[in-house]
Amino acid sequence: MPRIVSVGTAVPEHILPQKEAREFVRRLFEDSFDDIDRYLPIFENSRIETRYLSRPRAWYEQDRGFAERNRIYIEMACLLGKEAVIRCLERAGLSPGEVDHLFFVSTSGLATPSIDARMVKGLGLNRHVKRTPIWGLGCAGGASGLARACEYARAFPDSRVVLLAVELCSLTFRLNDRSKSNLVATSLFADGAAAVLVAGDAARIPGEWGDPPAVLDTMTTTWPNSLDVMGWDVTDDGLKVIFSRDIPGIIRKEVLPAVKEFLERTGVASDQIRRYMAHPGGAKVLKAYQEVLELPGEALVHSHAVLKKYGNMSSATVLFVLERELQESHQPGEHGLLTALGPGFSSELMLLRW
């Protein structure tokens, strides 16, 4: 079975305190909403304290064209992606040239050649490295991309596979979009990158990597008639966020049956799951997970901590949660469940065992 060896993360240098983001939005939206004060509590209720952005806050106060924002996306994706991959590989004692396959996940910018192609030289990857760019999975992309990387490592057990997720959500901000969805997105989303090293059973990993978790199984679920829950509308000036307020309700209705089906398929009982790594899409999303799965208060501690410090970095966020989980001590045979939701509307579940 493939194993998750190490995780490396990276964020931009510009920190945005949530209080500062709140005042920025007040000034921006006060002429568009007569009752702007009624919406501003979402900043406090988000349970976010800081986020990291690709540019200083003042940069976002001027209208920026899609071309300019996308150029910065390419620049920053390569920069942060390189940092995340190097940190990930150093923890395993590997060099970039020893990577056999690079999976790249993103939804917040466009690039052809893709970012993974641009990183072959920038990282010093082998020129024969296999590359698989994946676009459009949104917040589910970190879990989905990791599942695809694990499937490859299972099929090719001597392979060393890296998944890289980079999301620069702040660069999708459109100054002239005064919609409620944009207001909500401005209270949540941020920038970050995460890389995960997955090793097949026969892969050579020289570093001291302890007893990493094995990936037992994964399951993808896409619910019908839900395409309008989350995603982008492509407009003349960029990507306009689609963000339904019904997401916590969908979690309460649909997630438990999906988890039950998944665990029944794997033969693992729900009371055997000791560790939970949920994508922190927002405070209400984590609360819905807690309620529907009947989790104790400390079960999602890493998800809450990542949300508090970094906000929602779309696909990369659940991998920040995974990084913290890997730093914990685990009992042999202990099980963990990694989960994320994204456009489709879809779910990705992954069962781990230490």
Element (H, E) at 119: helix 115-123
Q: SS3 of 353, please?
A: strand
As a whole number of angstroms, the distance between CA 115 and CA 85 comes to: 13
Annotated active-site residue 169? The verdict is: no
As a whole number of angstroms, the distance between CA 70 and CA 141 comes to: 20
Q: How far is CA 96 from CA 19, 105, 275, in A?
A: 40, 18, 31
The amino acid that residue 235 corresponds to is T
* Two structure tokens written together for 174: 């459109």
Quick check: 186 and 229 in contact, CB under 8 A?
no
Residue 33 CA neighbour count, 13 Å, CB half: 18
Which one is catalytic: 88, 139, 150, 169? 139
For the chain, report the end-to-end CA distance as a whole number of angstroms.
12
Element (H, E) at 7: strand 3-10
Q: Which residues are catalytic?
A: 139
